[in-house]
Amino acid sequence: MARSRMITMDQKEEDLIHAMSIKTLNEIGICIHSDSVLKMLEEKGAEVDFDSKIAKIPEVMVNEALKTAPSQFTLYGRESKHNLPLPVEGPPNCSTSGLSVYVADIDTGEARKVTKDDLAKFIKLADALDGVGYVWTSMTLSDVPAMSHGAHELWVTLQNTTKHVTSVTAQSAEDAKMQIELAALAAGGKEQLKKKPLMSVICCTISPLSFEKGAIEAQVEFAKAGVPIASMAMSLGGITSPVTMAGTVCNNNTENLASLVITQAAASGAPHIYTVESTPMEMHTAGISYHSPELPFISVSAAQMAKRYQLPCECGCFGGSDGKSGMPWSFCETSSSSLSIMNTDLSAGMGSLDDAKTNSYEQLVIDAYFWDSYRVFLRQYEISEETVALDIVKEVGHGKNFLTHKHTFGNFKKELTLWDKKKLAMQATLSDNMVPEAKEIAKDLIKNHVVPALDIEILKQGETILEAYDQQVTARLKV
């Protein structure tokens, strides 16, 4: 099937990025702050210096990881209508943002710390919106112990959506095991979770070329459990990667290959998603720049490398970085975010404000409505002798029109886009006129949308597990 695509690099340039990544892994290596992971890699053939924590990975290990990693798998939802086969056919699936520390109050608009109730409402709203394909555990809870907040966020999210859930925080191997246990409750057991994973997990590298102890040990546990790993590289060009586009693209690629090697070393055949959320630095603040014109190049290049390796990918950054709800950006800035997700399977960012530090109910509605309209640009078209329709051309004849022909009436609805005018009205660039309407839509959906509940006994088990876990982590902090 045909669809719009972007290509950034020719074959020689793509080959060079791959070769330089292999050279980096073999000669510079990666820093892993975990002796257990270093030992695992050494047993698989890596050259390891336990004093410096550097593992040098030979090309043969990369090739083996690429051979064993599945090129196709499915992210499951609690309801099968929300299953997401990867790679996608047609437009990518977009998710909510994560992991904000604030929520914009739906009544006052003021940013405040997040509670379980806020997260439940946000996920319930995401479940109701067709434009949201899956959800992240989008907010950092302030009303639970800090060392177990990821598990609580996963549990709240699982209860309030039947869509696939991506966990964003896992701080240790123990934390990963707890999240696996909670997800297994919702899935019907650990074997069922492995067979039909209704959760995946973001496992970030620390650019440049580093892995934090707790996160990488958690990644190993998730891989063993069959939970798909999204190996997110977040290189910031000019700060945590070279300022050149080539340097940033290569660093992202190297970190993804390193993470893939770790996943496959832990569990050969474990599902893995090539993931990049990377921008150049914002020159005025030295911060992240979600609306930079370089963003599409970085993101599309990442997706191109993922396709080379036959790996599903999650690239690009959806949503806004301004401090208030609406669409307060120029056409060019809006295009930067939109173009960044042209070639990917998955993307994230819906509902975010202020460089993803805050989530907004109204912004989630606006972003979902925008995506409902925008994704038709990435729809598929059949190119065949039948659709070329020469027989119809012959019937109509020279100099005449196709308007009244039955072929036009039989095909226009599947070939042409009929815009939803109400959703288009929410896309008035440099305007916040859509915010009051979005607020009312959000309130109505939060109030009236019904998410099928987990079984009461499963809920009790989950709460018991979390209570015990909270006591453990709290006790450790007192020691």
Handedness of CA 309, 311, 316, 317 (dihedral sign): negative
CA distance 242 to 250: 9
DSSP assignment of 247-268, as one string?
HHHHHHHHHHHHHHHHHHHHST
How far, CA to CA in Å, does 393 sit from each of 245, 280, 282, 386, 458?
47, 50, 53, 12, 61
Domain 66-378: CATH superfamily is Trimethylamine methyltransferase-like (3.20.20.480)
Question: Could you identify the residue written with the tokens 């290959």?
Answer: 257
DSSP assignment of 131-181, as one string?
T--BEE--B-BSSS-GGGHHHHHHHHHHHT-SS-EEE----SHHHHHHHHH
CA distance 285 to 289: 9
Residue/partner pairs of 152-158 with CB below 8 Å, 24 or more apart: 152/116, 152/466, 153/99, 153/119, 154/179, 154/182, 154/183, 154/199, 155/182, 155/462, 155/466, 156/116, 156/119, 156/120, 156/123, 157/119, 157/123, 158/78, 158/182, 158/183, 158/186, 158/198, 158/199, 158/454
CA distance 355 to 353: 6
User: Which residues partner with 314 through β-bridges?
Assistant: 275, 346
pLDDT tens string, the chain, 479 residues long: the values are: 888 889 999 999 999 999 999 999 999 999 999 999 999 999 999 999 999 999 999 999 999 999 999 999 999 999 999 999 999 999 999 999 988 999 999 999 999 999 999 999 999 999 999 999 999 999 999 999 999 999 999 999 999 999 999 999 999 999 999 999 999 999 999 999 999 999 999 999 999 999 999 999 999 999 999 999 999 999 999 999 999 999 999 999 999 999 999 999 999 999 999 999 999 998 888 888 888 899 999 999 999 999 999 999 999 987 665 677 887 777 787 888 889 998 999 999 999 998 889 999 999 999 999 899 889 989 899 999 999 999 999 999 999 999 999 999 999 988 999 888 888 887 766 677 788 989 999 999 999 999 999 999 999 999 999 999 999 999 888 76
H or E element that contains 49: strand 47-49
pTM of the model: 0.92
Q: What is the pLDDT of residue 39?
A: 98
Handedness of CA 216, 35, 213, 221 (dihedral sign): positive
Domain parsing of the chain, residue ranges:
11-61, 66-378, 385-415
Q: What is the pLDDT of residue 5?
A: 87
Q: What is the pLDDT of residue 336?
A: 87
101, two tokens: 């520390």
